[in-house]
Structure 1
């Protein structure tokens, strides 16, 4: 295996700002931002939108969907198609 062809594998902090959660792991991800970690070292930090602390599958909190379904919204907006035969012809 040629070393110069592989990206650097190093400690990186992934931070979920929405959940106020960060974790240190090893990754090839790069970032210009850094963060001082609990062990006193400085690591690159990558901000993520969703982590295990904020994803509905892991938290058990399902996102609320509006009570009106997609089909009902479509019919309300464009009409239920009354009096029309197949293909939209009457």
Structure 2
């Protein structure tokens, strides 16, 4: 690889701001803050959603009522929508 054209790939501490969950991974993200974890200083990236707070991973995901949406569409547009001559 050519020198001086690639971003700095280093370990970065990501902190979920909704619940304080932290994890360290390698990234090229540019940060201005630093934080310590396990006695080592890392660049800090603050995030709003992680696997610890996302509703899909926590099991709190809402299931949408698709049958109700289809009926509402049919009431609004009737049989005009979707008819294709065979």
**TM-score scaled by structure 1?**
0.65
Matched with 2:50 is 51
Count of residues in Structure 1 that have an aligned counterpart in Structure 2 = 67
Q: Distance in 2 between matches of 1:3 and 1:60?
A: 45
Deviations 1:50-73 (A, max 9, x none): 0000111111112599xxx9xxxx
Structure 1 residue ranges, 4+ long, deviating more than 4 angstroms after superposition: none
Task: Give the structure 2 partner of residue 79 of structure 1.
Answer: none
Q: 1:20 to 1:64 in 2, by over 3 A?
A: farther
Q: Match for residue 19 of structure 2?
A: 19
Q: Structure 1 regions of 5+ residues with no counterpart?
A: 70-90
Aligned to 1:60: 59
CA distance in 1, matches of 2:54, 2:14: 15
The root-mean-square deviation of aligned C-alpha atoms, in Å, is 2.0
**Structure 2, gaps ≥5 residues long:** 69-86
Alignment TM-score, normalising by the size of structure 2: 0.68
